[in-house]
A = this chain, B = another copy of it.
Amino acid sequence: MRLVSYAQPGGDRSGGEQAGAVIASSAGDRIVSLAPFTVVEIISDAKALAAAREVVERATASPEVLPLLADVQLLPPVRPGKILCLGYNYRGHVAAGEDPTAGDPAYPDVFVKTPNVLGAPGTPVLLPVASSEVDYEGEIALVIGRRAHAVPLESALDHVAGYTLFNDVSDRHWQGRSSQWELGKCFDGFGPLGPELVTADAVPDPQDLLVEVVRDGVVTVSQSTSTMIFSMAFIVHYLSQVMTLEPGDIISTGTPQKLPEALETHRALAHGDAVTIRVAGLGELTTTFIDPTSTDPIGDPHDS
């Protein structure tokens, strides 16, 4: 199932949001409301999930009566109580004959992003006045569906409701100013999330997904989750030894390496740049970066 949160059409100014499911149809993706449930209720409560599945099944019979997904304003699929992120978690390329695991760290490097980073899919990131060297990190985020405390490795994925995309936007200058990276990671809006939470049953193998990032039309990242150092199951197992993971919490599983050519030509994000993260089965998350002090017009990133 493909779950989204979206703004209640004609809702009041308090910004009511509701859960929906995306249904593919020949004339474009459609959306069916799963109100009154929230996405977190659906992923954490078996009865709500069963009810949602039934709504989707009925709606699939005649999708043409449903609103187009393109016509609704998407919100982050969940509002996580915790946004946990991994540092280095994809192996780099090594020469033939070398052991690709030789540089593996013993333990994952974990940091936390604050709730103010959360951004809706498609909403631009405003380059902050104080930022100076903004970069993207295209990642797969797993979403907790069932409370997890000290869970064994074997059953860790039972606590994962599904997967979505996350751009761990980072200011490299602020990140490098001190030993802890947080300030470079926690600018307002530095965490676009979405577009959809794809439930785990629709993802045959989370360790066999190709993560691609396209920057201004050029593929800069292309690496499979099979090259992760710490698997998603291990990450949930490991983190749950420390903290109780709650439904709606997300763990962003680290960014793959930029391709060598992309590294060579890399420059900080600037006004009008667009970054798309795409993973087959999980959709695309496009973020445009805007300098609010600039007067240059921004094109449509989907035209590039």
Chain A interface secondary structure, helix, strand, loop or mixed? loop
User: Given that A115-B81, A150-B130 are known contacts, is A178 also in contact with B107, CB under 8 Å in the complex?
Assistant: yes
Chain B residues with CB below 8 A from A105, complex form: 178
Asked if A241 and B130 make an inter-chain contact with CB atoms under 8 angstroms apart, the answer reads yes
Answer whether residue A109 sits at the interface, using C-beta atoms and an 8 A cutoff.
yes
Chain B residues with CB below 8 A from A180, complex form: 87, 109-111, 180-181
User: Given that A150-B130, A180-B87 are known contacts, is A243 also in contact with B107, CB under 8 Å in the complex?
Assistant: no
A180 to B182, CA, bound (A): 9
A183 to B112, CA, bound (A): 9
Chain B residues with CB below 8 A from A242, complex form: 128, 130, 174, 183, 186-188
A214 to B25, CA, bound (A): 67
Question: How far does the Cβ of A94 sit from chain B's closest Cβ, in whole Å?
Answer: 22
Question: How far does the Cβ of A243 sit from chain B's closest Cβ, in whole Å?
Answer: 5
Answer whether residue A27 sits at the interface, using C-beta atoms and an 8 A cutoff.
no
Question: How far does the Cβ of A57 sit from chain B's closest Cβ, in whole Å?
Answer: 34
Answer whether residue A244 sits at the interface, using C-beta atoms and an 8 A cutoff.
yes
Answer whether residue A8 sits at the interface, using C-beta atoms and an 8 A cutoff.
no
Question: How far does the Cβ of A134 sit from chain B's closest Cβ, in whole Å?
Answer: 12
Asked if B178 and A110 make an inter-chain contact with CB atoms under 8 angstroms apart, the answer reads yes
Chain B residues with CB below 8 A from A186, complex form: 112, 242-243
A130 to B110, CA, bound (A): 16
Q: Give the size of the chain A interface in residues (CB under 8 angstroms).
A: 39
Answer whether residue A38 sits at the interface, using C-beta atoms and an 8 A cutoff.
no
Within 8 A of B (CB), among A146-172: 149-150
Answer whether residue A106 sits at the interface, using C-beta atoms and an 8 A cutoff.
yes
Asked if A106 and B187 make an inter-chain contact with CB atoms under 8 angstroms apart, the answer reads no
Question: How far does the Cβ of A86 sit from chain B's closest Cβ, in whole Å?
Answer: 10
Answer whether residue A108 sits at the interface, using C-beta atoms and an 8 A cutoff.
yes
Answer whether residue A26 sits at the interface, using C-beta atoms and an 8 A cutoff.
no
A188 to B81, CA, bound (A): 14
User: Given that A115-B82, A130-B150 are known contacts, is A108 also in contact with B178, CB under 8 Å in the complex?
Assistant: yes
Answer whether residue A114 sits at the interface, using C-beta atoms and an 8 A cutoff.
yes
A74 to B116, CA, bound (A): 28
Chain B residues with CB below 8 A from A58, complex form: none
For A105, give the chain B residue with the smallest CB separation.
B178
Chain B residues with CB below 8 A from A107, complex form: 177-178
Answer whether residue A280 sits at the interface, using C-beta atoms and an 8 A cutoff.
no
Asked if A182 and B111 make an inter-chain contact with CB atoms under 8 angstroms apart, the answer reads yes
Answer whether residue A95 sits at the interface, using C-beta atoms and an 8 A cutoff.
no
